[in-house]
């Protein structure tokens, strides 16, 4: 079947799946073919090069540099050479109270934002998943926070929570010190804002998952006499589980990378700052204020490992799903 394509051991998937469509063998003189292959390869490298250059300089090099920087201690005065301290600095940073507090706040923040964001998104998606009047209006409204940036969201919620012009005080929620300077309430306040901002993405993802659930299956369950609640929990949710896992990963990474909310609403001068010093904010502070790149590199690697863990978890779940489907 494939004798005509012997020069191309690497067939791409569509061609492989339809081998009968490949053209009949056309013997050609060897030299032009090789030169054509060289030209094609050159073109391939040329096409890949621009993206590869950007990745090399701004993704892989700085990523690898973290491992080197982590071994060097930044000198106390600028101008002095940095000192090789081996793994000492890594242990020092990872056991410091500052890092542990930052990690604790970050994990707490994840717990506050992720389940709430996903659940509300799922609820709205289920409610809007019917071909009924005005549904498209609701859909646009629910997905609207996808386009609101972190700066916009922070300004909006900063105003709502303002002790003077805000809405919260009027509703009777006016803790003292004000909510965003309050060591107890600042983190939950940031979390509420983040759930709102994440809701749009959560809704969009859940809706897409729902529309991939075959309607016949649901209809069959209903015909068999299953109540709406049973259909939802026993049919829809299991079929939706890949989407929910995907949303879980996206939400967790979103929460790990939170920065703008803290920068705009709290800031390092706030009394509540130590309790809202999320990991990325800590990294930036270490770079810009403390100017200790070695410590910042250790923190960056910690953030990387956290993200990697979540991503690997997703890969494993997807793998299991593939086995299940096969």
Q: How far is the CB of 301 from another protein (least distance, A)?
A: 7
Of residues 52 and 111, the one with the C-beta less far from another protein: 52
Question: Closest approach of Cβ 97 to another protein, in Å?
Answer: 22
Considering beta carbons, is residue 21 or 326 the nearer one to another protein? 21
Q: Based on CB atoms, which residue is closest to another protein, 54 or 111?
A: 54
Between 58 and 84, CB nearer to another protein: 58
Give the shortest CB-305-to-another protein separation in angstroms. 10
DSSP assignment of 43-109 equals HHHHHHHHHHHHHIIIIIHHHHHHHHHTTEEPPSSTTSPPEE-TTHHHHHHHTSHHHHHHHHHHHHH
Tell me the Cα Rg of the chain.
27
Q: How far apart are CA 229 and CA 183, in angstroms?
A: 41
Q: How far is the CB of 170 from another protein (least distance, A)?
A: 5
Contact present, 166 and 105 (Cβ < 8 Å): no
Q: Dump the DSSP string for 270-315.
A: STTGGGS--HHHHHHHHHHTS--HHHHHHHHHHHHHHHHHHHHHHH
Tokens in use for 278? 């999320």
- In angstroms, give the least distance from the CB of 76 to another protein: 19
């Amino acid at each position: 079947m494939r004798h005509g394509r012997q020069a191309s051991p690497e067939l791409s998937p569509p061609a492989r799946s339809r081998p009968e469509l490949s053209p009949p063998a056309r013997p050609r003189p060897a030299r032009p073919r090789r030169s054509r292959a060289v030209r094609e390869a050159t073109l391939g490298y040329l096409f890949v090069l621009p993206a590869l250059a950007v990745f090399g300089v701004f993704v892989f090099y700085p990523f690898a540099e973290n491992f080197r920087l982590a071994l060097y201690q930044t000198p106390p005065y600028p101008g002095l050479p940095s000192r090789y301290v081996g793994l000492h600095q890594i242990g020092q940073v990872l056991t410091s109270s500052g890092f542990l507090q930052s990690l604790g706040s970050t994990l707490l923040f994840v717990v506050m934002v992720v389940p709430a964001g996903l659940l509300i998104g799922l609820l709205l998606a289920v409610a809007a998943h019917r071909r009924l009047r005005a549904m498209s209006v609701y859909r646009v409204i629910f997905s609207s926070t996808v386009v609101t940036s972190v700066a916009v969201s922070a300004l909006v919620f900063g105003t709502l929570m303002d002790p003077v012009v805000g809405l919260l005080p009027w509703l009777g929620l006016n803790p003292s010190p004000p909510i965003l300077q309050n060591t107890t309430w600042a983190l939950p306040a940031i979390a509420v804002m983040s759930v709102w901002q994440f809701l749009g993405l959560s809704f969009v993802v859940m809706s897409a998952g729902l529309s991939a659930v075959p309607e016949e299956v649901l209809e069959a369950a209903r015909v068999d006499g299953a109540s709406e609640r049973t259909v939802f929990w026993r049919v829809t949710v299991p079929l939706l589980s890949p989407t929910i896992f995907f949303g879980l990963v996206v939400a967790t990474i979103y929460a790990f990378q939170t920065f703008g909310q803290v920068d705009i609403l709290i800031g390092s001068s706030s009394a509540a700052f130590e309790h809202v010093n999320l990991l990325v904010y800590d990294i930036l502070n270490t770079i810009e204020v403390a100017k200790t790149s070695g410590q910042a590199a250790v923190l960056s690697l910690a953030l990387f490992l956290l993200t990697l863990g979540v991503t690997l978890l997703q890969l494993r779940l997807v793998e299991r799903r593939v086995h299940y489907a096969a």
